[in-house]
């Protein structure tokens, strides 16, 4: 625990002994925080300071509970006057539990995450962090989404034409700037520091969780990183590779063919874990070949089969891909998606999409295809009119040097987390084995790198990685298994009481069926008994 955390814990203990809640002991006066200046000196990275733009007391229902909190909006001013400010928000509850938590974002960010929300894969039968009394904070990562550039806020990449805005997002500078400013404002509000400081995020937010662990190992006591897009440049290149394949004439499998393929994969691989429940718990054992669905003579003869070109697309997306050049981050490829192992690419937005990629990129194409389009136009070429389908990530030509420089910002592949471990930090890493937007194979790779660097014992001292069969990206749409686990309590117990997770159980948020939450590379194998009970499964290798 950090020195400040020890002092804050003592403050909270004193308040408890006096039967006074921490917020009341601090005498928080919400409206008085309006207009408060955030000195540049309290922020460890270069800024021009900041200011609270509004502060008001709010009472509302949060996760089924009535919560009174101080809602604070603030701006952090850039060094480059042409760069956008960082927009941030805090929620300081009246019934403060002495802890704080920062939320990460999603996609290209551009909006402040909802501080009343739950952590990724959080349970519905437990209070969300704000309702538990956490002082919450988050930011838009240093830019505000422009709906005229893209109607989906998290897909607006136009900010990246500015170097400071790009670094705030891609390198994670906005994370530390926001954290430092938020801790200053928490001290102003409560007249005390949090005893523990946590971070939680999924997708881009999961990547951000790993960024703070790597770059600022003393800043957070524990983090929850779910389905992290840690090798962001590597995935962008892979998405470009897949997008160009799907854009070829006749190569895109429409929604009916996506359903056909998914159903046949489930039919072939579902029972390999000992139970037929539409969840592929042992994806590595799945050996389904899309050629089994080949149309006669390889032509497209309707929704009941796949043409040769569509089979090639499926193979492209579900296979690892390496590019034939070097980039500064050292990344060499991306492992592809486990479509042939139960990932449901039928999800209209996150998977294949409902229409083929084209120029201009349709909003009905998949999220990843639109992400590539924005990345090419604003990150890489910085030319909004550039045709993203005309840029071949395998042969980037004049853009290779720019790709290499971006990789240093976007690929967070530093696997030596010993500084974080020495500081007492704890890392909970989660990913769904049926994720259709960020490959779980990539997170497997990250965890294996950490283990190779720190050893199995050293890694186990501070980290757990759980791969959840049937869970997709953020429980979006209708996943085979809508994962729910109280990771917040698990992180508190490990960080504050040194009680590591022991035989955790994950449930389906829709029907309550339970499975053991197995540490990677183990997976839940059905033995006997009630198929909805976690006790009927064992974690198998």
Q: Could you confirm whether 532 is annotated as catalytic?
A: no
**Structure tokens given for 228:** 């992290």
Alpha helices in 248-356 (DSSP H): 255-269, 308-318
Which of 118, 140, 136, 135 is CA-nearest to residue 127? 118
What span, in angstroms and rounded, lies between the C-alpha atoms of 537 and 214?
A: 35
Q: Could you confirm whether 221 is annotated as catalytic?
A: no
Set 75, 139, 141, 203: catalytic member: 203
- Tokens 């197995």 correspond to 518
Q: Which neighbouring-strand residues pair with 38?
A: 50
Which of 222, 234, 439, 457 is CA-nearest to residue 325? 234
**Structure tokens given for 315:** 């193979």
**Structure tokens given for 27:** 């005498």
Contacts of 457 (CB under 8 A, 6+ apart): none
Set 141, 473, 486, 495: catalytic member: 473
Angle between helices 173-190 and 204-215 (to 10 degrees): 80
Q: Give, in order, the Cα–Cα distances in Å from 162 to each of 85, 104, 165, 337, 422.
A: 12, 21, 5, 32, 36
Q: Give, in order, the Cα–Cα distances in Å from 375 to each of 6, 17, 157, 161, 170.
A: 43, 54, 6, 10, 11
139 in Cβ contact with 112 (< 8 Å): yes
Strands across the sheet with 65-76, in order? 37-38, 50-62, 65-76, 86-93, 135-139, 99-103, 196-202, 222-226, 426-432, 463-468
Q: Is the dihedral of CA 11, 12, 16, 22 positive or negative?
A: positive
Task: Write down the number of H helices and E strands in the chain.
Answer: 14, 17
518 in Cβ contact with 469 (< 8 Å): no
Set 173, 270, 277, 435: catalytic member: 435
Q: Could you confirm whether 150 is annotated as catalytic?
A: no
DSSP string, 347-416: -TTTSSBSS---SSPPTTB-HHHHHHHHIIIIIIS--TT--GGG--TTS-GGGHHHHHHHHHHHB-----
504 in Cβ contact with 517 (< 8 Å): yes
Which of 401, 395, 402, 397 is CA-nearest to residue 375? 402
306 in Cβ contact with 295 (< 8 Å): yes
Specify the 3-state DSSP secondary structure of 55: strand
Q: Angle at CA 350, nearest 5°, toward 348 and 351? A: 70
What span, in angstroms and rounded, lies between the C-alpha atoms of 202 and 481?
A: 17
Angle between helices 173-190 and 163-170 (to 10 degrees): 80
Residues classed as catalytic: 203, 435, 473
């Amino acid at each position: 625990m950090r020195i400040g955390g020890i002092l804050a814990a003592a403050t909270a203990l004193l308040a408890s002994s006096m039967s006074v809640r921490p917020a009341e002991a601090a005498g928080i006066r919400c409206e008085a925080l309006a207009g408060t200046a955030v000195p540049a000196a309290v922020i460890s990275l270069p800024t021009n300071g900041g200011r609270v733009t509004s502060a008001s007391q709010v009472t509302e229902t949060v996760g089924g509970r009535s919560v009174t909190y101080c809602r604070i909006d603030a701006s952090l001013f850039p060094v480059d006057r042409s760069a956008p400010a960082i927009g941030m928000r805090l929620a300081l509850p009246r019934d403060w539990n002495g802890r704080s938590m920062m939320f990460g974002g999603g996609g290209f960010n551009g909006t402040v995450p909802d501080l009343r929300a739950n952590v990724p894969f959080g349970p519905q039968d437990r209070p969300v962090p704000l309702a538990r009394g956490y002082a919450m904070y988050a930011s838009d990562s240093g830019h505000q989404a422009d709906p005229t550039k893209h109607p989906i806020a998290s897909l607006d990449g136009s900010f990246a034409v500015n170097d400071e805005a790009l670094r705030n997002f891609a390198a994670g500078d906005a994370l530390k700037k926001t954290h430092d400013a938020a801790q200053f404002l928490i001290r102003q509000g409560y007249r005390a520091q949090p005893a523990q400081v946590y971070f939680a995020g999924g997708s881009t937010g999961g990547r951000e969780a790993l960024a703070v662990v790597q770059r600022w190992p003393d800043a957070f006591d524990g983090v929850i990183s779910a389905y992290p897009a840690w090798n962001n440049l590597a995935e962008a290149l892979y998405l470009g590779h897949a997008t160009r394949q799907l854009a070829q004439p006749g190569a895109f499998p429409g929604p009916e063919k996506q359903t056909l393929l998914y159903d046949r994969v489930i039919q072939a691989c579902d029972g390999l874990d000992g139970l037929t429940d539409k969840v592929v718990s042992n994806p590595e054992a799945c050996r389904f070949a899309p050629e089994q669905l080949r149309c006669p003579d390889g032509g497209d003869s309707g929704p009941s089969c796949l043409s040769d070109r569509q089979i090639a697309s499926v193979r492209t997306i579900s296979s690892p891909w390496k590019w034939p050049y070097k980039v500064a981050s050292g990344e060499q490829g991306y492992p592809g998606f486990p479509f042939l192992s139960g990932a449901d690419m039928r999800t209209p937005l996150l998977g294949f999409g409902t229409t083929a990629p084209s120029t201009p990129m349709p909003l009905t194409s998949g999220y990843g295809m639109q992400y590539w389009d924005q990345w090419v136009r604003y990150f890489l070429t910085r030319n909004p009119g550039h045709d993203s389908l005309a840029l071949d990530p395998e042969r980037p030509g004049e853009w290779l040097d720019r790709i290499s420089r971006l990789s240093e910002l976007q690929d967070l592949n530093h696997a030596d987390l010993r500084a974080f471990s020495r500081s007492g930090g704890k890392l909970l890493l989660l990913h769904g084995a049926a994720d259709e937007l960020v490959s779980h194979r990539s997170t497997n790779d990250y965890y294996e790198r950490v283990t190779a660097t720190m050893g199995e014992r050293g890694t186990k001292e501070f980290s757990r990685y759980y791969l959840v069969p049937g869970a997709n990206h953020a429980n979006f749409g209708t996943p085979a298994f809508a994962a729910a686990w109280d990771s917040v309590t698990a992180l508190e117990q490990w960080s504050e009481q040194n009680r590591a997770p022991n035989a955790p159980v994950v449930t389906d948020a829709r029907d309550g069926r339970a499975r053991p939450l197995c540490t990677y590379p183990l997976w839940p194998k059905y033995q006997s008994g009630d198929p909805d009970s976690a006790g009927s499964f064992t974690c198998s290798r």
